[in-house]
Amino acid sequence: MHSIYSDGVYTQEELFQKAKSCGLSAISITDHDTIDGCKEAIVLSKEFGIDYITGIEFSCFEGTKEHHILGYDFDPDDPALVAHLVDFKEARFNRAEKIVSKLEKLRKPIKIDNILKIAGKAPIIRPHIAKAMLDEGHVKSVKEAFLKYLGDWKPAYAPKKTFPVEKAIKLVNSAGGIASLAHPGPFIEQDALYRMIQLGLDGVEIVHPIHDETLRNFYHSVASQYWLLETGGSDYHGDKEYDELNFGKLVVPYSIFESIRYHSG
């Protein structure tokens, strides 16, 4: 699940409250490319009596391909991990400045301060910029902002910084955690999947809203064949059409939580 520290709409405390009301015994909050909420969540875990492990969802970019790597049960004070995330946040800010500059030339000016206000605690992502364009009246919807200006290779597009899957796996492992491939769905090429396994992937996400029974069975067989942990969850953000239906229902057994704790460290 995700909180206001990335692209979720709820605070850490609100997520723990929802987890408590659903009867969940353990959770992880895997905000995108930030661990700023981890220490707060550790405190809340004790207050709510819900087991918690640290989490993050890395955005990895290789060429034109994007993959997400989940990190679980790592040390949030690990120097290499902290340094990477500081650099990442700065890279996102620099990218936003390039996009703003391009929009200026397209006579669609927005202020970086407005984008930062919209982003709040989270690293800047394109939807934040789209929202700023909407607020300025440059577009009638976030979708229009992407279709005309911000989408891949559109006039105001700026490429993301390359971040290989291998580096994400090593960062998580060196911080004492386990790395799992997030929501591979039907999109990932088999060669890419097996290359990640060879790079040291610890797990693969089985339970996810985009995974039907056929996909779950397929990734279960892959996990069984390569001795991978089978992770999963609702991928709850709080503003998706299916979120409330899935929260507390798309879950994994507590034994998975125990396995992650056993294999990490």
* pTM of the predicted structure, to 2 decimals: 0.92
Within 8-160, residue ranges assigned H as helices are: 12-22, 38-48, 79-105, 112-119, 126-135, 142-145
- Closest Cα to residue 133, out of 107, 113, 109? 109
For the cut 80, the answer to whether the pLDDT of residue 146 exceeds it is yes
pLDDT tens digits along 77-131: 999 999 999 999 999 999 999 999 999 999 999 999 999 999 988 889 999 999 9
pLDDT confidence band for 240 (50 / 70 / 90): confident
**How confident is the model over 172-198, as a mean pLDDT?**
95
> What does the pLDDT read at residue 264?
82
pLDDT confidence band for 62 (50 / 70 / 90): confident
> What does the pLDDT read at residue 126?
92
**How confident is the model over 53-76, as a mean pLDDT?**
93
> What does the pLDDT read at residue 162?
85
Phi and psi at 200, nearest 5°, equal 115, 15
CB of 181 within 8 A of CB of 166? Answer: no
Phi and psi at 138, nearest 5°, equal -75, -25
Q: Which residue type occupies 58?
A: F
Question: Distance between CA 265 and CA 263 in Å, rounded?
Answer: 7
CB of 12 within 8 A of CB of 40? Answer: yes
> What does the pLDDT read at residue 3?
94
> What does the pLDDT read at residue 82?
97
**How confident is the model over 69-74, as a mean pLDDT?**
98
Question: Distance between CA 150 and CA 131 in Å, rounded?
Answer: 11
For the cut 80, the answer to whether the pLDDT of residue 63 exceeds it is no
pLDDT tens digits along 194-229: 999 999 999 999 999 999 999 999 999 999 999 999
Question: Distance between CA 53 and CA 42 in Å, rounded?
Answer: 8
**How confident is the model over 56-70, as a mean pLDDT?**
90
DSSP H or E run through 171: helix 165-174
> What does the pLDDT read at residue 253?
96
Q: What are the residues facing 61 on neighbouring strands?
A: 66, 163
> What does the pLDDT read at residue 106?
96
> What does the pLDDT read at residue 211?
97
Question: Distance between CA 261 and CA 265 in Å, rounded?
Answer: 8
Average pLDDT, the chain: 95
> What does the pLDDT read at residue 65?
85
Helix (H, G, I), strand (E, B) or coil at 39: helix
Q: Is the dihedral of CA 4, 7, 9, 15 positive or negative?
A: negative
For the cut 90, the answer to whether the pLDDT of residue 177 exceeds it is yes
Q: What percent of the chain has pLDDT over 90?
A: 89
